[in-house]
Amino acid sequence: MALVIVSALLAKTLRSSTFKHALLAIVVFGAFVIALFGYVYFSADSFVRSQTDRTIAAEYEILRKTYESGGRGGLVALIKKRIANRPIEGSLYLLADASFVPLAGNLSVWPSALRGPKGWENFSAPEWQPDRTSRPPLRATFETLPNADHLLVGLEIDDLSKFSKEIRAALIWVGALIFVLAGMASILITRRTVGRIEAINSTSRAIMESGLDKRIPLRGTHDEWDQVAESLNLMLDRIETLMGEVIQVTDNVAHDLRTPLTRMRGRLEQAYHRQRDSDYDHSLISDTIADLDAVLRIFSSLTRISQIEANAQKAAFRTVNLAEIANEIVELFDAAAEEKGGRLSLVGGQSVLVTGDRDLLFDAVANLVDNAIKHGRAAGQVIVRITNRKGGAVISVADDGPGIPADEYLNVFKRFYRLERSRHTPGNGLGLSLVDAVVRLHRARIEILDNLPGLKIRIRFPASTKSGLENRSVPMSCT
């Protein structure tokens, strides 16, 4: 029954990589355990064996000395005495004459296995100790004495082999137990891991099937699995927000495109039902082209923003001088400011280096300056300021116009968002979205501030190792 459950669990978890790794670990660990136990077994066994041999050898030495001093008679007497006294449990003696006829000892027959002048042997003797039913294993040393008699001294080694067997059994059991426990532990761990992964998997499947509102359940243990689940949930939140924004933008695109497209359609329909009239046709066609251009401009602005946001443009990143860009923009827009009776001026360093895309930075700052001139006060002041602080380069564009209400600050970066009062000025509500995208691409931060009066937009670039050139002192040639 247990086997069935284990095999069922195995079948489920066998494909898990965690289980495979656990199995590998068990194999390596098991090999070490077997090697260690083998070493323990063999060293214990040989230690006990050598102890036995030493006891036998010492006893033999005593008998041999008695033979040397007292001859066969003395030896027979000693053997009889030792058998009667039994100083050593399970000891074994036999003295036989040249033709192996026993003279003294507790073995009735010279064992047939023991032949030769001298040696050590393990054997079993049926005749020994008739009160015992078993035939215990024996170990003995033997020698042919100078008078051709044969002497044998030995020990019952039943205890020794029992000890060996017990050690062996214990080791096998412990080994088996370790394997079973390790196997069970790895199955449990695998089940747990597979369970957490399965939770993530099933949530992913549910999201694919039904939508982004599902989240991976947390266990509240704050372990690494909870952390993974939390990160994934955060990612899902972000994706959900982005999807929401995409839907919002799609709606806005649809609205902003439908308006001019409807206008064009109506115009063409009217023209279709009218008599051809070259003056009328001419103005109709040029109006339609202008409207189409506006639609196409929205498209290219949108693709531009999404291309920037897709972060694909870092290839064009190099060290650019922000001051130079600002200078060119001020020069380019100077005429436009002048036309409105205002002034556009640049304040700040000669060399403020940042890492970025010149075209995109130009585009972003040009957008800000364009906004400042367009939405600022007539005959107002627009100031582009560049500073190079320790924390990184900063560029700001400030006007002294009506500004925007503080509660609109965040909205202005949304695509297609336009303030109510600027609904009727030219523009498509994508300018600041583009600026925002460019700023984010450069890992910079954009801030909207009240210029008291007016609006000030500030872009702070991250600290760059390459800035600070303008601090280099230029030696004066004549003083």
- Residue 338 as a binder of another protein (CB under 8 A): the answer is yes
Of the pair 161, 422, the CB lying nearest another protein is at: 422
Residue from 206, 336, 449, 469 touching another protein (CB under 8 A): that is 336
Q: How many residues does the chain have?
A: 479
Sketch the per residue contact string, 233 through 272, with another protein: x for CB under 8 A, - otherwise: ----------------------------------------
Of the pair 301, 351, the CB lying nearest another protein is at: 301
With CB under 8 A as the contact rule, which of the stretches 178-186, 218-226, 357-365, 447-455 interacts with another protein?
357-365
Answer left, alpha or beta for residue 182, where phi above 0 means left and psi between -120 and 50 means alpha.
Answer: alpha
Number of residues engaging another protein in binding (CB under 8 A): 32
Tell the smallest beta-carbon distance from residue 384 to another protein (Å).
15
Residue from 233, 363, 417, 445 touching another protein (CB under 8 A): that is 363
Tell the smallest beta-carbon distance from residue 284 to another protein (Å).
15
Reference 129, options 86, 169, 99, 96; nearest CA is 86
Of the pair 364, 457, the CB lying nearest another protein is at: 364
Residue numbers 276-335 binding another protein by CB under 8 A: 286, 289, 296-297, 300-301, 303-304, 307-308, 312-313, 315-316, 328, 331-333, 335
Reference 152, options 236, 96, 112; nearest CA is 96
Residue numbers 370-399 binding another protein by CB under 8 A: 370, 374
Sign of the torsion formed by the C-alpha atoms of 33, 36, 42 and 44: negative
Report the C-alpha gap between 468 and 225 in whole angstroms: 46
Of the pair 329, 352, the CB lying nearest another protein is at: 329
Reference 122, options 133, 136, 104; nearest CA is 136
Sketch the per residue contact string, 430 through 469, with another protein: x for CB under 8 A, - otherwise: -x--------------------------------------
Tell the smallest beta-carbon distance from residue 222 to another protein (Å).
44
Sketch the per residue contact string, 51 through 90, with another protein: x for CB under 8 A, - otherwise: ----------------------------------------
Pull the structure tokens for residue 469.
């050139």
Residue from 224, 339, 407, 420 touching another protein (CB under 8 A): that is 339
Residues forming the site for another protein (CB under 8 A): 286, 289, 296-297, 300-301, 303-304, 307-308, 312-313, 315-316, 328, 331-333, 335-336, 338-339, 359, 362-363, 366, 370, 374, 426-428, 431
